[in-house]
Structure 1
Amino acid sequence: MAGGNFIVADEGGSEYPGKLTRYVALTCIMAVMGGLIFGYDIGISGGVTSMDPFLKLFFPSLYRKEALDTSTNQ
């Protein structure tokens, strides 16, 4: 389960030895950027490819086929 669990010191007094290094920070930033780009691709580019002007210009045969289809199923 995802959540903000924290590792606390045990009874012996030793703490978790992991540290936030430059490598860890860079890896996290790269992962976040990948997620942002993926979200942008799905939200923006995905909508553009189904627009009529885009289909007319780049895929005229697909646009004609889509115009002939009168069903409500997309």
Structure 2
Amino acid sequence: MANHKKTKKPRKPQHHLPKVGTPQNDAYRLKRSREDVLDFGLMHPGNGRLTKIIGVLAVIFIVAMLVSFIFLT
């Protein structure tokens, strides 16, 4: 028996990292840290449904707070 599948799932390409202490490594770390700062607290693309649900819930919550504030005053 062969230990492989005919429809084998392709592997993801490997991203080789530069050696530590090289200028390429410094540039890579700077780029990644900038990306991390820009993406802080943000969801990555592809989560559109979840973003829309959270947005709708936030709008409903704010409207409910405003309506209750108007009726209480």
TM range (shorter): 0.3 to 0.5
Q: TM-score, normalised by structure 2?
A: 0.36
Q: TM-score, normalised by structure 1?
A: 0.36
